[in-house]
Amino acid sequence: MMAIKIPPEHPRAESLRIREKLVEHHHNGVVATAGLIAHGRGEAFDYMLGEKTTKQALNAINAAAATLLTAEKAVVSVNGNTAALIGEEIVRLANVTKAKIEVNLFYRSLERELKIKELLEKVGAHEVLGVGEDASAKIPELGSERRRVDPRGILVADVVLVPLEDGDRTEALVKMGKKVLAIDLNPLSRTSQKATVTIIDNVVRATPKLVEIVGKLEQDLKKCNEILLNFDNKKNLAESITLIKGRLSKLAEKGNYLTLEDEKHDL
């Protein structure tokens, strides 16, 4: 049940609905308290990006789809925020890419793990790894609770999708030789900087788009390889930062909202 009723005509209705969803799942124990802070940080970057999936994000989504489709053992890592915001899309993505789903929390507790597992099962997940004693392996050189992983999942994966997380684990996973696909609104975060493919976008927009593109590329391995050959993460990331810089410059000139006409070159 939502805590407040959001008028549909409210100019920021969608953003408020997302916020309420997180608050609701914070109350029921899925989202960590720090998850609310993390969301606020994300929202600030989303303002700067214009709250849309940019051309650069779309490039990265294509590369992430191609990586998932050419993976041997892909895993989608789930934390509190992602379970609350995109639980259904995660299950859909895991189904279409034959990836496993693993719960991996920074603020780890068995209670939260079980709640997240239950939420994912409710929206169709058949198997959820990483819960309790199942996370019996450890990622080397990692101090946080995120080091505990499932030996059937993240430990042996060649590709790990980490929608929205703190940065320490991405670096450790890359050091282990894994490809990390990140979705993060902040292009300056350690996760964004260290990932193999970085999607600078909101998980609520990027994940359904990723499912859609996986559906389109599914039968076309040649196209997947072509996408991967032409994708340069550093360059794409730099272009996302340039886009923010450009938008901020335009905003600074105008001192007001940008219209669609102002933004037509960015879209």
- Residues within the interface to ligand PTJ (CB under 6 A): 32, 34-35, 38-39, 41-42, 45, 79-81, 105-107, 164-166, 183-186, 189, 202-204
**What does the block give as tokens for 151?**
């030996």
Distance of CA 36 to the CA centre of its chain: 15
**Closest to 238 in 3D by CA, of 206, 191, 198, 207:** 198
CB of 254 to ligand PTJ, least distance (A): 25
Three-class SS of residue 199? strand
CB of 150 to ligand PTJ, least distance (A): 15
Name the residue whose CB lies closest to ligand PTJ: 42
- In the bound state with ligand PTJ, the residue whose beta carbon lies nearer, of 134 and 184, is 184
5 class by beta-carbon count within 10 Å (0-12 exposed, 13-18 middle, 19+ buried): exposed
113 class by beta-carbon count within 10 Å (0-12 exposed, 13-18 middle, 19+ buried): buried
- In the bound state with ligand PTJ, the residue whose beta carbon lies nearer, of 165 and 224, is 165
- In the bound state with ligand PTJ, the residue whose beta carbon lies nearer, of 97 and 193, is 193
Cα–Cα distance, 38 to 82 (Å, whole number): 12
CB of 34 to ligand PTJ, least distance (A): 4
- In the bound state with ligand PTJ, the residue whose beta carbon lies nearer, of 67 and 186, is 186
CB of 240 to ligand PTJ, least distance (A): 13
- In the bound state with ligand PTJ, the residue whose beta carbon lies nearer, of 183 and 217, is 183
CB of 223 to ligand PTJ, least distance (A): 27
**What does the block give as tokens for 252?**
């600074």
